[in-house]
Structure 1
Amino acid sequence: MEMKILLIEDDPSIFSMIEERFAQWSLQVVGPENFQKVMDDFIKVKPHLVLIDIQLPAYDGFHWCREIRHLSNVPILFLSSRDHPMDMVMAMQMGADDFIQKPFHMEVLLAKAQAILRRTYDYVEAKMDVTRFNEAVIDYARSEIMCDGAIASLTKNELFILRILVEQANQIVSRDELMRKLWDDERFVNDNTLSVNVNRLRAKLEDIGLHEVILTKKGLGYIAVTQGT
């Protein structure tokens, strides 16, 4: 299996050098499309390892390390040309797995990355099950949805309903389909129970700033609406 590495590095020459060398060991290196929206790429790529420079456009590497740690325990390795000991201390306190200073020898970086990947994935299959929905992030493993720092915890039924609606975003999902899928998953639900769960889910979404993202289509069912539609 080809391992995916998210390299958050704004120096094109360093990025290309790492990408080329890692590819020789079947390590796929991907960079962010927009340094202000790194988490979009993190969620899309679902990397096995993240390499982060400290000095970046918009937000520094510490910011992105914190954001990633809110969602995942994926291994993180910092790269930095700064030599202040506190940088290493801060990186480790935020949950980084290792720290390497620039300029570095490519074989040392490769060896560190391979060692981290072996330690992590030879023993534990770390899975990240998250998705973006409008301005929110849904963490299915934790049964949580986060939006602008606010977090709502969802019941299993609420999360299941949300997942079905989000996977068919901007399409009407009938009540019958929702109840059938809930029953197939061995969750007890009837028509009244479904209404209660949808209403509770909608209220929790509104509490964290997601208003009118699940709409009722009378006589048809429900629809999860994405922005811009």
Structure 2
Amino acid sequence: MGRILVVDDEPSVGEILRLYLEREGFEVTVVYDGEAAVEAVKRHSFDLVLLDLMLPKKDGWTVCREIRSFSTIPIIMLTARGEEVDRILGLELGADDYVPKPFSPREVVARVKAVLRRGKPQDTAKHQVVRLGPLVIDHEARKVLVQGTPISTTPKEFELLYFLALHPNRVFSREKLLEEVWGYDFLGDTRTVDTHIKRLREKLEAAGAPPLIKTVWGYGYKLELEEP
């Protein structure tokens, strides 16, 4: 089903996650510090990283930032329950999801499956190139171009932008975007959407795009194209 890298400094947690993931058919590698995590992603091909925040040598935020500098591999962070600032910072650094500790191993497996499922084309309708003004999105190639210049996006940023681009000028609530992009089994709050929208705007506008993603106050967001 896929190769998963588990990063946790508690051997018992790593082995429990390995057991549950391997039962579901995943191939699992476990490492116990941040430096080993970054090196593992550089040297090997993984489909997803389960990343604890509190790690020796390099903490989870540093690991996420370094991985994002060279890879768009999906990252699920394991955070302390109630630490909202940890979750928000992780999402701002490019994490795709988070699971608060203490967690159910079955919930972690469900999150892994959901993130991997959302990162793959679901039907032939998604094997298309969307062109909107200066923006070109190739779903099959997983590429985003702004005026011909490629920009790097995380898997969730890509899916969020692609979904909005498929429905230009249509307003979606944060809850609807969570449902469509993260799936019914995502248990996060609507600030997750806000964080990803913020990062997308920064990347698009840094590449020379006009402000395309508009906020509809009190409701949600839309990708707005001006009439020619």
Q: TM-score, normalised by structure 1?
A: 0.51
Shift of 1:107: 1.4
Q: Are residue 102 (structure 1) and residue 85 (structure 2) matched?
A: no
Superposition deviation, residue 102 in structure 1: 0.7
Q: CA RMSD in A?
A: 2.2
| 1:77 aligned onto 2:95 | no
Aligned to 2:90: 91
User: 1:83 deviation in Å?
Assistant: 2.5
- Label 1:46 to 1:125 Cα distance change in 2 as closer, same or farther (>3 A): farther
Contact 1:50/1:75 (<8 A) preserved: yes
State the partner residue of 1:17.
Answer: 16
1:41 shift after superposition: 0.9
Question: Is 1:43–2:42 an aligned residue pair?
Answer: yes
Give, in whole Å, the separation in 2 of the partners of 1:33 and 1:83: 24
- Distance change (3 Å), C-alpha of 1:94 and 1:24: same
Distance 1:122 1:26, change over 3 A: farther
- Measure, in 2, the Cα distance between the counterparts of 1:96 and 1:34: 18
Cα displacement (A) at 1:10: 1.0
2:51 is paired with a residue of what secondary structure? strand
**What is the CA–CA distance in structure 2 between the aligned matches of 1:45 and 1:13, rounded to whole Å?**
24
Is the Cα contact below 8 Å between 1:33 and 1:41 reproduced in 2?
no
What is residue 59 of structure 1 aligned with on the other side?
58
Q: Which has the larger radius of gyration?
A: 1
Question: For residues 92 and 6 of structure 2, what CA distance do their matches in structure 1 show?
Answer: 20
Consecutive unaligned residues of structure 2, counting only runs of 5 or more, are: 123-138, 143-149, 151-228
Structure 2 counterpart of 1:8, one-letter code: V
Aligned length: 127
Q: Which residue of 1 aligns with 2:177?
A: none
Aligned counterpart, 1:121:
120
Which sections of structure 1, spanning at least 5 residues, go unmatched?
128-141, 143-229
Determine helix, strand or coil for the equivalent of 2:54. Answer: coil
User: Structure 1 CA distance, aligned partners of 2:89 and 2:75?
Assistant: 13
Letter of the 1:105 partner, please give it. S
SS at match of 1:36: helix
Q: Deviation at 1:125?
A: 6.9
Tell me the distance in 2 between the aligned counterparts of 1:7 and 1:93. 21
Task: Kindly report structure 1 stretches of 4+ aligned residues shifted beyond 3 Å.
Answer: 122-127
